[in-house]
Chains A and B, each alone.
Chain A
């Protein structure tokens, strides 16, 4: 068993960290305040290959492993969790299902420009009545000649409005429940495809979250992803891998919040001593560091499994996500506590990390759903 990152991973971490600190950190606070999507940063991410880390070179990807991807999202999220989820949702939720389930033509047409970062991707699964329970999907798809006609509303779509390519699920036969669902590739600009309200969120405020509206959207049959009735499978597999992205985002949030608290504890003096000289602070910092290391091992383990495909990734990515996201929340809350009154102000990024952390326990499967996935897996074994 080898716990060391290889030379590539070390170099990638340094590159993404240098990039994030120099380019993403300076404006992160302002983008959060103004709820401003990082359009320019996204372009730079594309130029550096961060939009297609795990995809093969033949589709303009980098051809690296999932640990490289985890490091990418972790390091971006360490300074700007909104940018982290932009890259994660694009890669894990749009490019990846096209890579895993797409035909050669679909990969050439859609995956290649996504992996290069020329185009941005998003995923439309959630609906007003279908959150954790995808069988509540009410968006419909009807086949007519060599087209499908889609109607419905999708909710909480990360990268919505800014993304060019959307993987969307729709119900084709309600009597079949989950087995009636199909997944489709929908291009922005298709007549009838529009955006509803932009969500005002507690955290990840510079990530764009929109409602998608589909009104008689005609798409060619070639844009069916996988087969009719296999949409639920497409979505669940997508989320099995996607959790690694969110777990990495949570890990980066925890790391960023912890570093902030560590630094502050050495600078701030009260009662004639720095905070770091008080045992009560030391124990807090120690607990933060222990949880982060444990989370990191779980996240990288899930990433290693996603690369090796030796065992199903589902249980491990669920474990990694639930642990890393709960770690992010504990650590970010403790970081605000260590910074005290200053931690509660927007003068320090601690409060931003605390607000950003919460969503990691909710999106791409709540912590409760992750536990269901883990329990189902261990009870089946």
Chain B
């Protein structure tokens, strides 16, 4: 069974976000990691490989820095990686990213495509679903469990207030929700082996694509307003609780 895992490099979730002089997100000195949901996808891919054999290929889109995250995925046990790296894709939107990835996928054999449910940096959850559309295969998002038998997958996905059990024919795209598994640490030996594994770079020209026009562009970034200080409500507990309820309803409009 061949598994393709789409992986995005994101900011470390503990990174402090700042804007540079031109109003863009400042990447200097920020620790870059594998998008945590994509780690679950890699882990699931490795478990499928351990069960059924085959190959796990990582696919990513981004700059040179993504190589270190791909290398980590290879150290976890993936077999090889493909990185679409083209300066013309710096401002690619989800639609462009999905079209480019669909083109890159054409040369990679797959039975299952896995990805994270959402990217923790920009909150995008579209690319993998769009990729499935572009490839004209089914997709199931936010999965918590994946069982494969022959050409069929039985998946549990998270829905509002419960779960849904879905049977789907392969090939298909699945996006990982937290709870699907616990991602392994790359082992020391895995790290040593990772540097001998292939990371194949691809440009738009390699894929035979023209520079695509983004359908959505970011007009402006702004930081959330800083947290204001807390408020102490004095008085007897019963009165203070009443006052708290009033403030929550009337001032904070939280109730």
* Chain A residues in the interface with B (C-beta under 8 A): 7-8, 10-12, 14-15, 18-19, 47-50, 53, 57, 62-64, 68, 72
**How far, in whole Å, are A250 and B10 apart by their CA atoms in the complex?**
34
In the assembled complex, B188 has its CB within 8 A of some CB on chain A: yes
Bound Cα distance A64, B187 (Å): 12
Q: Which 3 A-B pairs rank lowest in CB-CB distance, beginning with the nearest?
A: A49-B188, A62-B188, A49-B187
Which of chain B's residues 70-89 have a Cβ closer than 8 Å to chain A?
A: 71-72, 75
Q: How far is the CA of A114 from the CA of B77 in the complex (A)?
A: 23
Q: How far is the CA of A335 from the CA of B188 in the complex (A)?
A: 32
Q: Which residue of B lies closest to A12 (CB)?
A: B191
Question: Contact between A47 and B192 (Cβ–Cβ < 8 Å)?
Answer: no
Q: A7-B68, A7-B195, A11-B72 are in contact. Are A62 and B185 (CB under 8 A)?
A: no
Assess the B185–A11 pair: CB atoms within 8 A: no
| Partner pick for B195 among A8, A19, A57, A63, CB 8 A cutoff | A8
Q: Closest residue to B67 on the A side, CB-wise?
A: A7
Contact B191–A63 (Cβ < 8 Å): no
B residues in contact with A62, CB < 8 Å: 188-189, 192
Residue pair A11, B187 in contact (C-beta under 8 Å): no
Residue on A nearest B182 in the bound complex, by CB: A22
Taking CB as reference atom, which chain B residue is nearest A22? B185
CA distance A57 to B185 in the complex (A): 20
A interface, by DSSP: helix, strand, loop or mixed? helix
Closest Cβ of chain A to B190, distance in Å, is 8
Select one of B185, B187, B191 contacting A8, CB under 8 A: B191
B188 & A12 in contact (Cβ 8 Å cutoff): yes
Q: How far is the CA of A64 from the CA of B194 in the complex (A)?
A: 13
Contact B192 A15, beta carbon cutoff 8 Å: no
* Chain B interface category by residue count: 10 to 19
Tell me which residues across on chain B come within 8 A of A49, comparing CB atoms: 187-190
Contact call A15/B186, Cβ cutoff below 8 A: yes
In the complex the two chains form, is B188's CB within 8 Å of A68's CB? yes
Q: Taking A15-B185, A47-B187 as contacts, is the C-beta distance between A8 and B68 under 8 angstroms?
A: no
Asked if B185 and A64 sit within 8 Å, CB to CB, the answer is no
| Residue on B nearest A63 in the bound complex, by CB | B192
User: B residues 165-211 with Cβ under 8 Å of A?
Assistant: 185-192, 194-195
User: In the complex, what distance in Å separates the CA atom of A8 from the CA atom of B187?
Assistant: 11
A273 to B194, CA, bound (A): 48
**Interchain CB contact (< 8 A) of A64 among B68, B186, B188:** B188
Which residues of A lie under 8 Å from residue B187 when comparing CB positions?
A: 15, 47-49
Instruction: Tell me whether A7 and B188 are in contact (CB under 8 A).
Output: no
A48 touches B185 (CB 8 A): yes
- List 6 A–B pairs whose Cβ atoms lie within 8 Å, in order of A's numbering: A7-B68, A7-B71, A11-B71, A11-B72, A15-B186, A15-B188
Closest Cβ of chain B to A245, distance in Å, is 16
Q: A8-B192, A49-B187 are in contact. List 4 more A-B contacts (CB 8 A).
A: A11-B71, A11-B186, A48-B187, A62-B189
Tell me the bound Cα distance from A11 to B75 in angstroms.
Answer: 9
Q: Are A53 and B71 in contact (CB under 8 A)?
A: no
Per-residue CB proximity of B100-130 to A under 8 Å, as 1/0?
Answer: 0000000000000000000000000000000
- CB A218 to nearest CB in B, in angstroms, measures 37
Q: How far is the CA of A14 from the CA of B69 in the complex (A)?
A: 12
A48 B71 Cβ-Cβ under 8 A: no
Give the chain B neighbours of A18 by CB distance below 8 A.
185
Nearest-Cβ distance from residue B249 to partner chain A, whole angstroms:
33
| Residues of chain B lying within 8 A (CB to CB) of residue A19 | 185
Closest to B68 in A: A7
User: Taking CB as reference atom, which chain B residue is nearest A47?
Assistant: B187
Report chain A residues within 8 Å CB of B195. Answer: 7-8
Closest to A68 in B: B188
Chain A min CB distance to B14 (Å): 12
Most buried by A among B187, B189, B195: B189
**Contact flags (1/0) for B140-181 with A, using CB distance below 8 Å?**
000000000000000000000000000000000000000000
| C-alpha gap A8/B195 in the complex (Å) | 8
For the complex, what is the distance from the CA of A53 to the CA of B187, rounded to whole Å? Answer: 11
| In contact, A64 and B192 (Cβ under 8 angstroms) | yes
Q: How far is the CB of B186 from chain A (nearest CB, A)?
A: 5
B75: chain A residues at CB < 8 Å are 11, 15
Are B188 and A53 closer than 8 Å at their CB atoms?
A: yes
- Contact residues in B for A47 (Cβ distance below 8 Å): 187
By a CB distance below 8 angstroms, the chain A residues around B71 are 7, 11
Least Cβ–Cβ distance between B115 and chain A, in angstroms: 22
Closest A residue to B31 by beta carbon equals A14
Instruction: Give the CA-CA distance A189 to B218 in the complex, in Å.
Output: 69
Bound complex: CA of A286 vs CA of B189, how far in Å?
37
Say how far B36's CB is from chain A's closest CB, in angstroms: 12
Best-buried of A8, A11, A49, A64 by chain B (most CB within 10 Å): A11
Q: How far is the CA of A14 from the CA of B185 in the complex (A)?
A: 10
Q: Once the chains are docked, how many angstroms separate the CA of A49 from the CA of B190? A: 9
In the complex, chain A residues whose CB is within 8 Å of the CB of B192: 8, 62-64
Give the distance in Å from the alpha carbon of A340 to the alpha carbon of B224 in the complex.
36
Least Cβ–Cβ distance between A359 and chain B, in angstroms: 26
Contacts of B191 in A (CB 8 A): 8, 11-12, 15
Across-interface contacts of B186 in A (CB, < 8 A): 11, 15
Q: What chain B residues lie within 8 Å of A14 (beta carbons)?
A: 72
* Distance from B219 Cβ to chain A, minimum over Cβ atoms (Å): 36
Q: How far is the CA of A18 from the CA of B185 in the complex (A)?
A: 8
